[in-house]
Amino acid sequence: MFEDDENDMPNYKTLPIFLKGREISDVANRIGDLIPEDDLHLQDIKGRMMVDAAQLYIKVAGAVSGGLYDIKMEAASIIRKSAHDLILNYHSLKMFGFKEVEYFNIVRDLVEEYRLLFIDWVAGFDKWNYCIDRWGLFNPPGVGPFDKDPDDDIPFDGNFFDGLD
């Protein structure tokens, strides 16, 4: 049973959004390598930049393997914030005197390409594969945090599992 489920899961490593996220992370890392080791302010920005860039593909992998709508939407929310924070690093790098700041425009252009892939990726989430988010943030359209869970109507017989060692 579980083997079939795994074979039906798309390979996140081949998804265009995952590949674009890796590309962005690679470019951000190369730019980060240009930051002087002795500049603590720029090194701090570099650290945050690397984390934000990595989220663009790590959270895609988690969302694909998570399956449920609310898990995917939570990952999408983190991705959106990370992408936004990443492109804002341009201003911090410039403010603290990073000499090669213009290279960062490459990252900003790649994030725009990523954004377009992101829109299509999120639109493809299965809105019928969900658990109600009782916090009300990541429910599919038409589902509220106070809705009755349809799974509550399914009878559960705990004795079914007896002897299934």
Buried b or exposed e, range 63-77, using 16+ CB within 10 angstroms: bbeeebbbbbbbbbe
At 4, the pLDDT band (50, 70, 90 cuts) reads very low
pLDDT of residue 65: 85
Task: Say yes or no to pLDDT of 154 above 80.
Answer: no
pLDDT digits (tens, 9 = 90+) for 101-149: 999 999 999 999 999 999 999 999 999 998 899 999 998 999 998 988 8
Length of the chain: 165
Task: Say yes or no to pLDDT of 7 above 60.
Answer: no
DSSP secondary structure, 22-54, as one string: HHHHHHHHHHHTTS-TT-HHHHHHHHHHHHHHH
Pick the CATH number of 2-161 from 3.40.50.300, 1.10.150.20, 3.40.640.10, 1.20.1440.60: 1.20.1440.60
Give the domain ranges of the chain: 2-161
Other Cβ atoms less than 10 A from the Cβ of 9: the count is 10
Average pLDDT, integer, range 1-26: 77
Average pLDDT, integer, range 24-41: 96
Measured between its terminal Cα atoms, the distance across the chain in Å is: 17
pLDDT digits (tens, 9 = 90+) for 36-75: 999 999 999 999 999 999 999 999 999 998 789 999 999 9
Task: Say yes or no to pLDDT of 10 above 50.
Answer: yes
At 92, the pLDDT band (50, 70, 90 cuts) reads very high
C-alpha distances in angstroms, 38 versus 29, 59, 87?
Answer: 17, 32, 23
Task: Say yes or no to pLDDT of 152 above 90.
Answer: no
Distance in angstroms (rounded) separating the CA atoms of residues 56 and 83: 7
pLDDT of residue 9: 56
